Structure 1
Amino acid sequence: MDRAVKRVVRFDLWIDPVFDERLAREPDVALEVAALNGDASAAWAALERAHVYQVSAARNELPAQWQVGEALLARCPRLLAVSSGGAGYDTVDVDACTRAGVAVVNQAGGNAAAVAEMTIGLMLAVSRRIAESDRKLRSERGFSRESLMGHDIGGKTLGLVGIGHIGRRVAALARAFGMRVLAVDPLLPADEIRARGAEPADLDTLVKQADVVSVHCPLDEATRGMMDARRFAAMKPGAIFVSTARGGIHDEAALADSLRSGHLAGAGLDVWDEEPPPLEHPLLALPKVVATFHTAGVSHEGRRNVAAMAADQVVELLAGLRPPRLVNPEVWERFRERYAQAFGRRPGA
């Protein structure tokens, strides 16, 4: 193998062309695009010689054998880094990568503006009953405008579960509508939450006071099932639930029950346990639900930003620079050793 050539592999899932264009400008970087539905042996051959794997962050669009776990890492000993195609990294076992000396990077913040705008859009669509009005106007006559009367969001209280890249943008947009903003984030001190535009609150207080609860935290063992029947019951009667985070953080059956009972006024859902959800999913049968297909970050601008960010970070990492969005920083010293073995020089500290 030519030690001077740094090899990047991705599958032929859609990605903004800026990613390939950026890598093509590097004379010592070779990009190989494997066919997701093609010859598996050819895809394995590409991965086995790769130094960086640019992997989809969407677990439902990437077959399990191409997700990054112990089996793939054992088969790809040259792999130095895995780059997620989004802020999340649901398709990557980070602990397994760390044990193997493989750096994991994500693109946190790349589509924050897109997701924040979608969050406000879902809030408005549910609160002002926009989707209901659209469906009714296309299929019925003889109803009054007042039968579709909704609520303004101005003057209401928004509760943010997480105030990172996306949450802080949502807070700014919400304040422009005249909303009061509460936020809970265990990773941030109270002063930083205030600096990001929200009043700090614990989760139980937040769900009791908020007219809209919007989720912006990662899915992990601490957050899985966090929004359950008890927390939905604790929300204000007539409140709205919104999630553009990850399926699994909220209990879908419990949410459906709360909506059917009339306790909650509606929900705006971009994320699901199974994506896309089955057509017979109970939440899809409820007119109070505005449903989208994990598209909050899928704007032209958002996808381009993420692809450009990913390409720049891959190029920097292959040049031996410490990447700015390193998910497992404890791997760095081991990464430096493996990089030196691959390319004959040790990257910077």
Structure 2
Amino acid sequence: MAALKRVCRFNVWINPVFDATLRAEPDIDLQVGDLQRPDSALQALLRAAHVFHVSPSRDELPRRWHVTDALLAECPNLLAVSSAGAGFDTVDAAACTRAGVAVVNQVGGNARSVAELAIGLMLAVSRKICVSDRLLRTQRGFSRESLMGHEIGGATLGLVGIGHTGRAVAKLARGFDMRVLAYDPLLSAEAIRAGGAEPVDRARLLAESDIVSLHCPLDDTTRGSFDAATFAAMKPGALFVTTARGGVHDEAALAAALTSGHLAGAGLDVWAPEPPALDAALLGLDTVVATYHTAGVTHEARRNVAAWGAAQIIGLLKGEAPPRLVNPEVWPAVLERRARLLG
């Protein structure tokens, strides 16, 4: 009889298709840990687990359960850590590689949703949609001309990062007749052109773009990379939009650039921390449209990433190479460990 394959997740909201798909597999035991229970109960689940399906949200998951060297040392049977989203901010991928543990994510599953919100933020800021909504609900005596904004059609859009989401944004932007530039140090000029954008260096993108939109990961190369000097290098009157990760941009520096008038507005879906404090300087500015890391939070996207995650885990436990493997160099070691643990 084949060994039982154990998958663990915690009781953070997930589309029901994830649990239903795994529970339809007779040789998979899915356990859902209650974060309100004592640490010892959750430790026991992880100690037995072959796969840990983890929330990618830094501020949603208690730090105790972020995947680090220390946590991995408590999980001798773990073959893989599966992120419940495109990002994996709660997972130290290098630590997993050292431990012989695969890291998989669901990159691309929410790309359309994130791209739609990015375009929505551009429209909301440029056309002053939220300001108009607030005024119409609370005041009278203002003119329509006081709410006059700008079209995004024909503007130059600069994408910092043109992976799955960046390409989806570029596709939507072409419907607005936007000129699309992109900077992505991980991709060749040919790949950037294939993604629907003109490849440029970072300095040119900042200088020429009417709107700069971030679609890069948060890592040691991007953390704090949009600082005061970067905002100063942007085109006067430009808009800044991010659906990437909080921490890539310096919030105080952005607030200063907006307050000075150098930048005309910002659309922000990501923060550090999340949610931001109610008295955060950026939330006090009418030139800012703020959302709560909801770019990828649609019914369609959440179903996609849940279904993809379940299918990838099933395949991985059968010994199939995962299609979204973050650390491919570890796969031979994972197969060896799988053979020992599962036969």
The answer to whether the 8 Å contact 2:157/2:178 transfers is yes
Aligned to 1:205: 204
1:179-258 to 2 correspondences below 5 Å:
179-258=178-257
The answer to whether the 8 Å contact 1:57/1:89 transfers is yes
Q: Cα RMSD (Å) of the superposition?
A: 0.8
1:1-349 to 2 correspondences below 5 Å:
4-344=3-343
Shift of residue 281, structure 1, vs aligned partner: 0.4
TM-score (norm: length of structure 1): 0.97
* Matched residue type, 1:235: M
* Matched residue type, 1:248: G
Taking the aligned partners of 1:154 and 1:64, their CA distance within structure 2 comes to: 43
The answer to whether the 8 Å contact 1:3/1:342 transfers is no
Shift of residue 135, structure 1, vs aligned partner: 0.8
* Matched residue type, 1:341: R
Secondary structure (helix, strand or coil) at the match of 1:125 reads: helix
* Matched residue type, 1:81: A
Taking the aligned partners of 1:172 and 1:148, their CA distance within structure 2 comes to: 29
Taking the aligned partners of 1:64 and 1:250, their CA distance within structure 2 comes to: 22
Taking the aligned partners of 1:298 and 1:252, their CA distance within structure 2 comes to: 23
Taking the aligned partners of 2:76 and 2:3, their CA distance within structure 1 comes to: 17
Shift of residue 187, structure 1, vs aligned partner: 1.2
Secondary structure (helix, strand or coil) at the match of 2:297 reads: coil
* Matched residue type, 2:40: S
Shift of residue 39, structure 1, vs aligned partner: 2.5
Q: How high is the sequence identity, in percent, across the aligned residues?
A: 66
Secondary structure (helix, strand or coil) at the match of 1:53 reads: strand
Taking the aligned partners of 1:149 and 1:270, their CA distance within structure 2 comes to: 24
The answer to whether the 8 Å contact 1:56/1:91 transfers is yes
Aligned to 1:347: none
The answer to whether the 8 Å contact 1:58/1:90 transfers is yes
The answer to whether the 8 Å contact 2:86/2:109 transfers is yes
Taking the aligned partners of 2:40 and 2:235, their CA distance within structure 1 comes to: 55
Shift of residue 40, structure 1, vs aligned partner: 2.0
The answer to whether the 8 Å contact 1:5/1:28 transfers is yes
Shift of residue 3, structure 1, vs aligned partner: 5.7
The answer to whether the 8 Å contact 2:2/2:27 transfers is no
* Matched residue type, 2:20: E
How many residue pairs match? The answer is 343
Taking the aligned partners of 1:316 and 1:308, their CA distance within structure 2 comes to: 12
Secondary structure (helix, strand or coil) at the match of 2:182 reads: strand
Taking the aligned partners of 1:85 and 1:302, their CA distance within structure 2 comes to: 11
* Matched residue type, 1:36: L
Shift of residue 139, structure 1, vs aligned partner: 1.1
Task: Report Cα offsets for 1:137-193 as digits up to 9, x if no partner.
Answer: 111100000000000000100000000000000001001001000001111111111
Shift of residue 70, structure 1, vs aligned partner: 1.0
Secondary structure (helix, strand or coil) at the match of 1:241 reads: strand
Shift of residue 12, structure 1, vs aligned partner: 0.6
Taking the aligned partners of 1:67 and 1:109, their CA distance within structure 2 comes to: 23
Taking the aligned partners of 1:84 and 1:145, their CA distance within structure 2 comes to: 46
TM-score (norm: length of structure 2): 0.99
Secondary structure (helix, strand or coil) at the match of 1:152 reads: coil
The answer to whether the 8 Å contact 1:207/1:235 transfers is yes
Taking the aligned partners of 1:184 and 1:250, their CA distance within structure 2 comes to: 16
Taking the aligned partners of 1:271 and 1:194, their CA distance within structure 2 comes to: 27
Taking the aligned partners of 2:2 and 2:282, their CA distance within structure 1 comes to: 53
* Matched residue type, 1:18: V
Where does the alignment leave 5 or more consecutive residues of structure 2 unmatched? Answer: none
Taking the aligned partners of 1:99 and 1:193, their CA distance within structure 2 comes to: 32
Shift of residue 4, structure 1, vs aligned partner: 1.3
Secondary structure (helix, strand or coil) at the match of 1:8 reads: strand
Runs of 4+ in structure 1 off by over 6 angstroms are: none
Shift of residue 121, structure 1, vs aligned partner: 0.3
Where does the alignment leave 5 or more consecutive residues of structure 1 unmatched? Answer: 345-349
Shift of residue 223, structure 1, vs aligned partner: 0.7
